């Protein structure tokens, strides 16, 4: 199964406001998170198309040439995702948040392999309250409900939570679940292991 990936990205000037540091560093950090997440996606053989939907004009011309970008006036996360979904038709889709600095090609491949079992599925965040990925075999059936307690909303809407009893797969899934909103999240991401862009930025601190 070949998947298309939608990555919604908030303008870096307003991203990661819960990280209690200056705005310029938050912008750099959010771009590093995105860079590491996109690196994992572009190297994943199950992903044939990557579409970034954003209101951040800085990203134009600053992404891997294989990554498509649609710059829009943001109407909110779910509405922005829907804009991307309308561009995909009925292809299999994975909606992936851009703040996953621990994501690797192997962890993404495990998510997609497990997602083939369910017409619609999702990956919970590390807290078990939110969602880091939303997947559907047909983009027209993907209904994003990101936001407060999105884990419960997606489960109630019939999306199946992706999980595994395998120790190896569970470890890789932990990388797909570790989004970063707070200083504690960032500490945990460093414990798990972040990608090169995030690592280089944090090493310069």
Residue 143 has a CB neighbour count (10 Å cut-off) of 17
| Domains of the chain by residue range | 3-199
Please report the pLDDT score of residue 20 as a whole number.
Answer: 62
Over residues 118-137, the mean pLDDT reads 97
Q: In this structure, what token pair is assigned to residue 181? A: 């909103």
Please report the pLDDT score of residue 25 as a whole number.
Answer: 81
Residue 124 pLDDT exceeds 70: yes
Question: What residues form DSSP beta bridges with 133?
Answer: 96, 123
Please report the pLDDT score of residue 159 as a whole number.
Answer: 98
Rounded distance between C-alpha atoms, residue 80 and residue 30, angstroms? 18
Please report the pLDDT score of residue 205 as a whole number.
Answer: 61
Q: In this structure, what token pair is assigned to residue 161? A: 């939570």
Per-residue pLDDT tens over the stretch 74-117: 889 999 999 999 999 899 999 999 999 999 999 999 999 999 99
Per-residue pLDDT tens over the stretch 130-149: 999 999 999 999 999 999 99
DSSP 8-state code for residue 127: T
DSSP 8-state code for residue 57: G
Please report the pLDDT score of residue 24 as a whole number.
Answer: 80
Per-residue pLDDT tens over the stretch 4-53: 999 999 876 666 666 766 778 888 899 999 999 999 999 999 999 999 99
Per-residue pLDDT tens over the stretch 151-201: 999 999 999 999 999 999 999 999 999 999 898 999 999 999 999 999 999
Question: What residues form DSSP beta bridges with 67?
Answer: 50
Identify the CATH homologous superfamily for domain 3-199: Spore Coat Polysaccharide Biosynthesis Protein SpsA; Chain A (3.90.550.10)
The length of the chain is: 205
Closest CA to 177 of 121, 142, 130: 130
Rounded distance between C-alpha atoms, residue 77 and residue 120, angstroms? 19
Rounded distance between C-alpha atoms, residue 15 and residue 74, angstroms? 13
Angle at 177 between CA 88 and CA 105, to 5 degrees: 65
Rounded distance between C-alpha atoms, residue 172 and residue 195, angstroms? 14
Backbone φ/ψ region at 3: left (φ over 0), alpha (ψ -120 to 50), beta: beta
Residue 26 backbone dihedrals phi, psi, to 5 degrees: -60, -40
Please report the pLDDT score of residue 131 as a whole number.
Answer: 98
* Cα-only R_g, the chain: 16
Instruction: Provide the greatest CA pair distance for the chain.
Output: 45
């Amino acid at each position: 199964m070949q998947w298309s990936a939608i990555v919604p990205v908030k303008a870096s000037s307003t991203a990661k406001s819960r990280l209690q540091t200056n705005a310029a560093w938050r912008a750099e950090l959010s771009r590093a998170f995105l860079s590491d997440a996109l690196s994992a996606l572009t190297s994943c053989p199950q992903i044939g198309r990557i579409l970034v939907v954003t209101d951040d004009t800085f990203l134009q011309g600053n992404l891997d040439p294989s990554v498509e970008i649609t710059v829009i006036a943001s109407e909110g996360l779910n509405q922005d995702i829907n804009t991307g979904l309308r561009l995909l038709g009925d292809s299999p889709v994975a909606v992936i948040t851009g703040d996953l600095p621990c994501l690797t090609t192997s962890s993404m491949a495990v998510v997609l392999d497990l997602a083939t079992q369910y017409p619609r599925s999702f990956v919970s965040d590390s807290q078990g309250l939110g969602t880091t990925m939303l997947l559907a075999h047909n983009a027209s059936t993907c209904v994003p409900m990101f936001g407060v307690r999105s884990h419960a909303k997606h489960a109630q809407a019939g999306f199946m939570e992706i999980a595994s009893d395998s120790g190896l797969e569970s470890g890789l899934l932990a990388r797909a679940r570790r989004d970063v909103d707070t200083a504690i999240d960032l500490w945990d991401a460093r414990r798990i292991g972040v990608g090169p862009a995030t690592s280089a930025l944090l090493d310069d601190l």
